Structure 1
Amino acid sequence: MSFLTVSTLLLLLLFGSGLALQIQCYQCEEMTHDCSSPEFIVNCTVNVQDTCQKEVLVKDDGIHYRKSCASSGACLIASSGYQQFCTGKLNSVCITCCNTPLCNGPRQKKRPQPSAAIPLTAPRVVVLGLYVLLAAALC
């Protein structure tokens, strides 16, 4: 297979399959309730904001929430920078990052996983497909 053919197939695989990655997150500023209802759902910027961020602040008047879309790098930097302040006590600030739709909403009850195998999510399937195409092109 020629390089041009492989390149064309890769572009079709990435863009033709609708894999422009967009995530939905809850978004609110300084709310005294969890703001995890439909009116707070936003579409994050495609291929830029790939993570949902949740900040939980403990103040004198109660718990405050900030939720937003973020880039994974910015969210991880913020969460690691505030890790020492995440105590759950007064003036505590906890920042968490996650990358599945609406994951910065209320905590989900844990369900036992049916298998210890790692599921193939869409990006992993694409990467696997790329490896197969490259292997075929090199043969």
Structure 2
Amino acid sequence: MRLVAVSAVLLLLLGPGLALQIQCYQCEETTHDCASPEFVVNCTVNVQDMCQKEVLVKDDGIHYRKSCASSGACLIASSGYQQFCTGKLNSVCITCCNTPLCNAPRHKKRPSASGAAAPGTAWLPLLASVLLASARC
């Protein structure tokens, strides 16, 4: 029974990491927020684990760049450009996210991804608690 409990804990810890590849929107310097199926790409497995979105405010309007990125590179870029993210002319905002197609346009008031479970993994905590409870018996 301990083997079952240990397996459940490992599944709980490794479950979110089992998705080795995500999809992101990808476009270069477009004046529309490229979020249609023709802009969807598969990111490089085990290398590009985040989606990146750049929003640039220029003289002729708002420009978008979207791509797959490694978490390290994306987080460094986003923190380096924080001071330039003003929303005014020549503003550059870079954001990173790690769920499929998360670099899509923002919708009104959607739940925060930080507290939400990944799709298909909401059952993991329940499974772990049931298995751990049965291991104690």
| TM-score, length-scaled by structure 2 | 0.70
With over 3 angstroms needed to count, the CA separation of the structure-2 counterparts of 1:84 and 1:28, relative to structure 1, is same
Taking the aligned partners of 1:53 and 1:119, their CA distance within structure 2 comes to 20
Taking the aligned partners of 1:88 and 1:119, their CA distance within structure 2 comes to 28
With over 3 angstroms needed to count, the CA separation of the structure-2 counterparts of 1:46 and 1:90, relative to structure 1, is same
1:55 pairs with 2:54: yes
- Residue 104 of structure 2 corresponds to 105
Structure 2 runs not aligned, ≥5 long:
1-5
- Counterpart of 1:106 in structure 2: which amino acid? P
Number of equivalenced pairs: 121
Structure 1 runs not aligned, ≥5 long:
1-5
- Residue 32 of structure 2 corresponds to 33
- Counterpart of 1:92 in structure 2: which amino acid? S
Taking the aligned partners of 2:54 and 2:116, their CA distance within structure 1 comes to 28
On the 8 A contact 1:20/1:47 being kept in 2, the answer is no
On the 8 A contact 1:53/1:96 being kept in 2, the answer is yes
1:67 pairs with 2:80: no
Q: CA deviation at 1:28?
A: 0.3
Taking the aligned partners of 1:112 and 1:82, their CA distance within structure 2 comes to 25
Structure 1, residues 79-135: CA drift from partner, whole Å, max 9, x if none?
00000000001100000000111110110232468xxxx55545xx5xxx8xx9xxx
Taking the aligned partners of 2:76 and 2:100, their CA distance within structure 1 comes to 21
Measured on the aligned residues, the alpha-carbon RMSD in Å equals 3.5
Q: CA deviation at 1:32?
A: 0.7
Taking the aligned partners of 1:41 and 1:55, their CA distance within structure 2 comes to 16
- Counterpart of 2:72 in structure 1: which amino acid? G
- Residue 3 of structure 1 corresponds to none
Structure 1, residues 42-90: CA drift from partner, whole Å, max 9, x if none?
0000111010000000011111000000001100000000000000011
With over 3 angstroms needed to count, the CA separation of the structure-2 counterparts of 1:20 and 1:109, relative to structure 1, is same
What SS does the aligned partner of 1:103 have? coil
With over 3 angstroms needed to count, the CA separation of the structure-2 counterparts of 1:20 and 1:107, relative to structure 1, is closer
With over 3 angstroms needed to count, the CA separation of the structure-2 counterparts of 1:62 and 1:120, relative to structure 1, is closer
| TM-score, length-scaled by structure 1 | 0.69
- Counterpart of 1:52 in structure 2: which amino acid? C
